[in-house]
Amino acid sequence: MSDSPGANGNRYSVLLIENRREEIELYTDLIREVISCNVDVMSKVSRGLEWVDQMSYHLVVADLSALRTAGGQDRNEGLWLLEKLKQVSPNAGVIIIAEDASVEEAVAAMRLGADDYLKKPLNPDAFRLAIRRALDREALLSEGGGAGDTLHLLNSCQMISASLEPMKVLRLVQGYLARELGYLHAAFYRMADGKPERVKTDAESHAAEEILDIAVLANNPFSALLEDELPFRFHERAQLTPGLFVFHFRFMGDENYFCVCLSPKMPDSVEGFEGRMRILRAQLEMTGRNIQQYMGVKRLAYMDDATGLYNTRFLHQILDKEVAQSKASGRPFAVLFIDADRFKSVNDVHGHLVGTRLLNALGNHLKQYVRASDTVFRYGGDEFVAILSDCDLETAKRVAERIRTSVEQSAFLQDDGLDVRFTVSIGIALFPEHADSKKSVMEMADQAMYGAKKKSRNSVVVAPLKRALPPGDGGSTDGDAGRDGGKTA
């Protein structure tokens, strides 16, 4: 790695994210042909993000293969890291280089803030031109005032409009206001039943949050903005409370949101700042509507028609998320595989239309016996799956037993003049105690469910342990969980 940025009288500082020696030498030589600069090389992107924040780079050149290596082999992971890069340093120019570039990926990268997206084998002239363009844009964004402020706003609005995740949009707003106001800390609030409620974000400073809460309580900044329909208001520092900036916007179904910034700096031109805030607010309202429409379509794609529960398409997404969270936190999650016993006889006696209504009733019943953080899915036929997030074995067993008992004691479809009674068999498996992959934890829960059917039906069976659990964490209800090749009704 070179000397720190700014050393040796060089005007520019460049970060190169690459993990292949030949490519590092080529890119470094080409960059230095264009500008006098220091070039720092990082092979680990997470460390590179820290350096971007600390060292104020003018330009970041990243090989997409290095980004994917850091984030996983999923193509979208590399773009996620690009987004994080722009959040850390929104003014830095970014050039992405890819070996197997696609049009869709290039468009996504540009929308997330990349200045250029170049395909290998690299054309030296195109690379040199991309460097000049990126640095010209970085200089305009960094100089502040007039065109720089406007370009920064347009850049942020572009990234906001490209996002379909509410929390990502809020982080982008924080990043934009940090550049505008240089605040100490910021948090979001939304009005819920006429009262302000804090919106949790990824990273929070408890000390700063407490100071912010005290200042909000002392100033009561929300009511005036709601009454006057103002986009923002500055609150001067008082003897016991710091200064505040409060930005009001409508988001996600015209809900009232507020971004509250602690100890902000006043903008040079309040009139120009107000114009930018009105544009930002309009963009947020439009993006909120787009997200709602997208979520509505997505919900239809992920819903099971017969039961109104989520389907297996969404199950795989939730499993991916739970596996990642478990690996990061070290906390397990549980899978319950639930099968209605002798359901075929219901169809034989009452017909398939009644059977479908019964599946819907069972799905609604299951949702009442899991926690708000858990998710229930229809797996297919008369089989259901419940994913219990951040759940140990004892909790999973209690939830499963509660479901089993409640179904056994219930009479279904009484509103239709029927009295349908049946039971369920449930298998339990935990990640990572019983399995170390998404596929295997589902298989273990499935086998445990078949073990319950073989045992007696109307029972709960825990998959055999992959490794020993800590003392007091419970054990298998039945160690002979397993599937013998044929389904037991």
Name the CA radius of gyration of the chain, rounded: 28
Q: Rounded to whole angstroms, how far apart are CA atoms 20 and 43?
A: 8
CB-CB contact of 452 with 461 (8 Å): yes
Q: Is the pLDDT of residue 274 over 80?
A: yes
Residue that has been written with the tokens 């065109």 in this structure: 147
- Tens digits of residue pLDDT in 147-183: 677 877 887 888 888 788 888 899 889 888 988 898 8
Which has the higher per-residue pLDDT, 429 or 78? Answer: 429
Q: Is the pLDDT of residue 52 over 70?
A: no
CB-CB contact of 245 with 181 (8 Å): yes
CB-CB contact of 420 with 456 (8 Å): no
CB-CB contact of 16 with 22 (8 Å): no
Per-residue pLDDT at 87: 65
Greatest alpha-carbon span in the chain: 87
**Per CATH, domain 312-462 is 3.40.50.1370:** no
Give the residue-averaged pLDDT of 349-359. 90
Q: Rounded to whole angstroms, how far apart are CA atoms 105 and 122?
A: 17
The second-level CATH assignment, the architecture, of 167-301 is: 2-Layer Sandwich (3.30)
Give the residue-averaged pLDDT of 56-80. 65
Q: Over pLDDT 90: what percentage of the chain?
A: 35
- Could you tell me the pLDDT band of residue 297, with boundaries at 50, 70 and 90? confident
Q: CATH 3.40.50.2300 spans which residues of the chain?
A: 7-143
Q: Is the pLDDT of residue 420 over 50?
A: yes
Q: Rounded to whole angstroms, how far apart are CA atoms 50 and 364?
A: 47
Token output for 164: 């379909």
**Which CATH entry fits the domain spanning 7-143: 3.30.1180.20, 3.30.300.30, 3.30.379.10, 3.40.50.2300?**
3.40.50.2300
Q: CATH 3.30.450 spans which residues of the chain?
A: 167-301
Which of 2-6, 49-53, 162-166, 221-225 bottoms out in mean pLDDT, i.e. has the lowest?
A: 2-6
CA neighbor of 448 nearest in space, from 413, 423, 483: 483
- Chain CA centroid to CA 414, Å: 41
CB-CB contact of 54 with 15 (8 Å): no
CB-CB contact of 117 with 110 (8 Å): yes
Under 8 Å CB-to-CB from 126, ≥6 apart: which residues? 118
Q: CATH 3.30.70.270 spans which residues of the chain?
A: 312-462
Per-residue pLDDT at 88: 65
- Chain CA centroid to CA 263, Å: 29
Q: Rounded to whole angstroms, how far apart are CA atoms 357 and 413?
A: 8
Per-residue pLDDT at 57: 81
Which of 58-67, 275-284, 354-363, 406-415 bottoms out in mean pLDDT, i.e. has the lowest?
A: 58-67
Exposure on the CB side of residue 41, measured as CA atoms within 13 A: 16
- Tens digits of residue pLDDT in 18-48: 888 889 999 999 999 999 888 988 876 555 5
Q: Which residues pair with 41 in a beta bridge?
A: 16
Q: Rounded to whole angstroms, how far apart are CA atoms 378 and 364?
A: 11
Other CB atoms within 10 A of residue 465 CB:
17
- Could you tell me the pLDDT band of residue 68, with boundaries at 50, 70 and 90? low
- Could you tell me the pLDDT band of residue 144, with boundaries at 50, 70 and 90? low
